[in-house]
Amino acid sequence: MDEDDKKLENQINTSESSNDSNEEVKLEVENETNLEKQENNIQEDKNLNEVIHKKDGRLHIYVRQDKYKGELKSKNWVGRLYINGKQKISSSGTKDLDEAIPILEKWFDDVQLEAQNQNKIELEVKENETNENIQLQNIEIDQKTADDVSLDASNEIKDDLTSKKVLKSSMFDKLKNIKFGKSKKDNPQESANESSQQKKSKNKVKSFFDNFFKSKVSKLSVAGEEIAGLDISKDAIRVCQVSQDKDENWILDKFSYRLLDKDKVQDNILESKDYVAEEISLAMSNAKITSKNIALSIPVTSAIIRVVTSPLMSDEELQKAIETDSLWENLVQLADNLNDYSIFHQVINRNSKNNTMEILFVASKLSDVNSYSAIAKKAGLNPVILDVKCFTLKNAHDNTKFKSINQNTNSAILEISDDENYLMIIHNNTPVITDVFLRQPEKDLISQISDGPINDESEAVIRRYSMQVKQAIGDYEAKHENKINNIQVVSSLKNINSIIPSFKKNLPTTGFSLFDPLEGVAIPSYNAEKTNLDNRSTLAAVIGLAYRKLDVFGYYKFVTAVKNINLLPNRDAVRQQGRLKFLSGFAFKGLAIAIAVIYISLIGLSVLKINKNKKILAEFDSVQMEFDNYNGQFSKLIKQKREMDKSLELGKLVSSNQVLSYKALAQITRSVPLRVNFSKMTFDGSSNITIEGMAFSDQDILNFISNLNEKSLIDQASLVAMKVDNQDSNSNKKGFTILCKLKQS
């Protein structure tokens, strides 16, 4: 054991025995574990960030080396200035100092001019609104502080820290003074009361519909999404798809993996797109996954994850602050331009008592995001979710039933690998992530540990690793008063089973076990052999991604923040497409249900009608007899009606005031034999009556004429015409026309 290790171990023992020196020991441990990193940073600040040129004592031009995963990427001249309490950095894009100076000086002048114009606008607004005075004072203080910081170029690192502290102290005042909307000036108290009542009533209605919508439609949309998980790592490509049974138990429906050829994969896997895309296509085909929508993740080292505290704001105010870039510039203070990042945020806690809220901030370089998306698209897939690996592990952890761990104890997830090493403690459903710093030679020593005794160098690395883990757990337990008894280990190292006993030796009060993401998950027989692995923790990321759903209506937003993370730049468009797809499908289903209901109703009515008709048909014979009876009676009545109608028609031809014609008509009626029928009688109004009718024989006609001539009022009755009835061949009836001349009085 070397002197540094002995010194570090003595400091840890001293911290455990003395509570008074606890903070000092933690600081020394941190300095020891990050010693080389800090020395490198100081050397870079002294040599690489040496100020070469200044303008007005405020523009600093120096060399900055951009590194990507420890390797030199570029060497450009960079300009830096402080304005309005904020640091601004711009790269000239050239290695030639003579070319860089005019470029950066022009950038400096543009920034100054823009700041002056902005100050003028702010001054005009502040003259009309006296409430802006506090904000003006804060800006002046920050400006003065920035000026003081820029005067001492030899102590730039210390001044940077000071300026950040000043920004942090004034940050809340600035954000609190941001104005959203216009206030009424006539009666502020009355306006405030009215707006408060209106907001309450609107919020109640909105809350009711939101709750109903989220509880019904949102859950339905989430349950109906079909997304496959895709995990891209240096050693393998893994894909899977899960589902739930009626009891909401998870089933591993489809799973496959492809081990990558190390000779074809470079240190940066993003530079082997063609080979990786081909392996992804083969893995999807082997798993028989037909869905093109996939969820994938980026490494933790490619993301910035922070939980920041902000003054309490509504969602509308928060969105306006984000659109003006003022929120992230004050809360996060990224060194690069915000436009170079894909940012996801989620309010995870609002504290109205302290008038603050906590925001989960997740960001990643757009170049990394687009590179991982491009690999999936090259394989013919449609990436709809881009998560961070640590959150996929938490997602797998949340959906796993730990049968061997007491549910009352808290557990954490520790990832150990060649690339990423961090501890993730889940507190109130929000991960608390602590990075574990290791040099590359130390990572190599860990990967070389085997069964049996380990050498002193490897033991020293494990001890330092364990000290960082212990310090992170101690800080968490001291802050939240929660005990961490178990750590779930996730690792792709082949010798992880040989490494865990060394951790148990250094942390005897903490349990270590390999994380099994398939515990409690039903595995069909066709996937049993694929998942029969000694180290199932390598499946945690892809299983966690398979649990993800495209939350198009924001259901997870109100459940937990880390289930809703999506770093895709076009995530809003993807959600909109998913929303339209679901609504169109929902409308189609509704229309289909409506048509089905109509058909079922018609079928039901038809069945009822058929049964009713059957009952009626059973009574047909009795009804037919009754019909025939009534029809005979009806025929007789119709015949009588026709005779009465003929008499009435004859009566219409005679005026009631003509006594002679009336008497003559009566005599004619009495003269009709039995086998003679009248069909028509015409009276010319003077002395002639024409009679038309039918008789059975000529003798009946003659008898009728004879009877007429015997009447006292008839002067003469003669046959005018006679014809045979041609309509009925079987009938012997003859038609006749008789002219009767009446006697004149």
Asked if the domains 226-400+534-569 and 653-742 are classified in one and the same CATH topology, the answer is no
CA dist., res. 697 & res. 675, Å (int): 8
What are the tens digits of pLDDT across the range 318-348? 888 887 777 787 788 776 777 888 888 888 8
Domain 226-400+534-569 is in which class? alpha beta
* Dihedral sign (CA 692, 696, 702, 707): negative
Q: Is 622 helix (H, G, I), strand (E, B) or coil?
A: helix
Query: What pLDDT sits at residue 288?
Result: 92
- Name the percent of the chain lying above pLDDT 90: 16
Element (DSSP H or E) covering residue 53: strand 53-55
Torsion of CA 502, 507, 511, 516, to 10 degrees: -50
Domain ranges of the chain: 49-176, 226-400+534-569, 408-515, 653-742
Q: Among the residues of 424-564, which ranges form H helices?
A: 440-447, 456-480, 496-506, 525-528, 540-546
8 A C-beta contact, residue 150 and residue 84: no
Whole-structure pTM value: 0.52
- pLDDT surpassing 90 at residue 9: no
CATH numeric code, 653-742: 3.30.1360.100
The whole-angstrom separation of Cα 385 and Cα 564 is 9
The more confident residue out of 430 and 309 is: 309
- Token representation of residue 41: 């940073």
pLDDT of amino acid 284:
93
Per the DSSP assignment, residues forming a β-bridge with 690 are 682, 739
Q: Under a CB-based contact definition with an 8 Å cutoff, are residues 702 and 658 in contact?
A: no
Other beta carbons within 10 Å of 571:
17
Q: Of 131-135, 289-293, 425-429, 704-708, which gets the smallest average pLDDT?
A: 131-135
Q: Where is 411: in which H helix or E strand?
A: strand 410-416
Average pLDDT over residues 354-363: 87
In three state form, how does the secondary structure of 665-681 look?
Answer: HHHHHHCCCCCEEEEEE
φ/ψ of residue 675, rounded to 5:
-100, 35
Over 70: is that where the pLDDT of 186 sits? no
Predicted confidence band of residue 491 (pLDDT cuts 50, 70, 90): very high
Specify the higher pLDDT residue, 604 or 59. 604
Least confident of 407-411, 527-531, 737-741: 407-411
Q: Identify the residue whose tokens are 């405030």.
A: 192
For the domain covering 408-515, report its CATH number.
3.30.420.40
- Between the ranges 76-90, 92-106, 346-360, where is the mean pLDDT highest? 346-360
- Mean pLDDT of the 79-89 span: 74
Tokens of 226: 């079909």
How are beta strands 86-91 and 71-83 bridged, if at all?
A: antiparallel
The candidate with the shortest Cα–Cα distance to 739, out of 708, 711, 699, 712, is: 708
Q: What is the mean pLDDT of the chain?
A: 75
Higher pLDDT, 223 or 98: 98
Sign of the alpha-carbon torsion through 219, 538, 365, 439: positive
With a CB cutoff of 8 Å and minimum separation 6, the contacts of 340 are: 365, 366, 367
pLDDT class of 64 with cuts at 50, 70, 90: low
CA 562 distance to own-chain centroid: 15
CA angle 561-565-568, nearest 5°?
A: 160
Paired tokens of 427? 């507190």
Query: Across residues 245-272, what is the average pLDDT?
Result: 86
CA angle 233, 237, 239 (to 5 degrees): 120
Taking the alpha carbons of 283, 289, 291, 293 in that order, is the dihedral positive or negative? negative
Please determine, for residue 649, whether its predicted confidence score (pLDDT) is greater than 80. no
Give the per-residue pLDDT at 614. Answer: 82
Closest CA to 438 of 493, 356, 519, 513: 493
Assign 555 a pLDDT band (cuts: 50, 70, 90).
Answer: low
| Nearest one of 427, 424, 430, 432 to 347, comparing CA atoms | 430
The CA distance from 322 to 329, in Å, is: 9
- pLDDT for residue 731: 67
